[in-house]
Amino acid sequence: MAGDPLAAKSVAVLIDGQARSGAFVACPNYPTYAYAWLRDGAFCAHALDVIGERARASAFHGWAAQTVLSHQQRFETAIEQIETGKTPHAEEMPPTRYTLEGQLEPRVREPWPNFQLDGYGCWLWSLAQHPMNGADGVLSEATDLVARYLSAAWKLECWDCWEEPGDGQHASTLAAISAGLQSAAHLLHKPHLQAEAARIRRYLLRRFVRDGVLRKGIRDDRVDASLLWASLPFGILQPNDPRMRATVLRIRRDLGGGSGGIYRYRGDTYYGGGEWLLLTAWLAWYDAVAGDRDASDRGRRWVVNQAQDNGDLPEQVVHAAQAPAMIDEWVRRWGPIAAPLLWSHAMYIIMSAA
């Protein structure tokens, strides 16, 4: 990545977006995203590990572990209820995002979904990629707690990785959970967690593959660009597995935008349902690993071309929005599209290193 100005800018954005606590803000200039998502932060930390900024990645993992343990009772109560056959209310579950200080999000006039499971799996995966010898002390305690929580909760219906309407079970969420439990098994040397990860993988492939293609949800036959997770980085399917190749082919066909980027899913209306930079980078990452360097380079160039004048990468661009009439409505509601989105910059770094 030497000599790549956008890579250098991306590293700077991640560093500037890391709070003193170690948390990564989702976007510093967009009030709705003034929180720390475990999912976004996991990939930000991994991107920094990729370029050798290990101390900053360590700071994030320390923040995540301390945050989890500071809310231990919420986790333990959820685990106990699930194991006794009860379904906790979504508001009682550990949240998908926290304040930068590791507290629960304050109540707001316009609440939005905060019960997701993917972020906890993403964090365990990222922690296992972080250069260290196992997990000791606080990291070990938090890893064990999260692994017990995911083992208990993975069959529950929750919101998908986009916090979108349509709660249920989702393939990308289960992929993250399986990878997280596999990672916890490695970190804690607990084979039963590896067995549980394998069980979830079998369930995912049995219930979410139709006609050889992964589908978005248990009741949703569409493809979603987050299905790329099933291969990279979570390893449910290898890049050249016929089911993964068929899924990627469907993503290109159904989710390829008019300007060359990738949509989240068909029917998206958030800011008009534009092309997402982090997902286009993700597909370019997949293409590089699968051996299609030309396709990977095209995706990379597209992401570079969406950078704003100051080098910031936004969440999405709306040159070829699916629902153009919705753009102004969202701008009036929450302001301009989030930029810089730290997750976009993180995926550019990860993709560029492939």
Provide the annotated active-site residues. Answer: 160, 163, 315
Q: Is 112 left (phi over 0), alpha (psi -120 to 50) or beta?
A: beta
Q: How far apart are CA 260 and CA 281, in angstroms?
A: 12
97-98/36-37 β-pairing: antiparallel
Cα angle vertex 215, ends 286, 329, to 5°? 85
Q: How far apart are CA 235 and CA 237, in angstroms?
A: 5
Do residues 64 and 38 lie in contact, with contact meaning Cβ atoms separated by under 8 Å? yes
Rounded to the nearest 10 degrees, what angle do helices 5-16 and 38-50 cross at? 130
Please provide the distance, in angstroms rounded to a whole number, between the alpha carbons at the two ends of the chain.
10
Which residue, chain included where needed, has tokens 């003034």? 34
Do residues 14 and 342 lie in contact, with contact meaning Cβ atoms separated by under 8 Å? yes
How many other β-carbons are positioned within 10 Å of the β-carbon of residue 274?
26
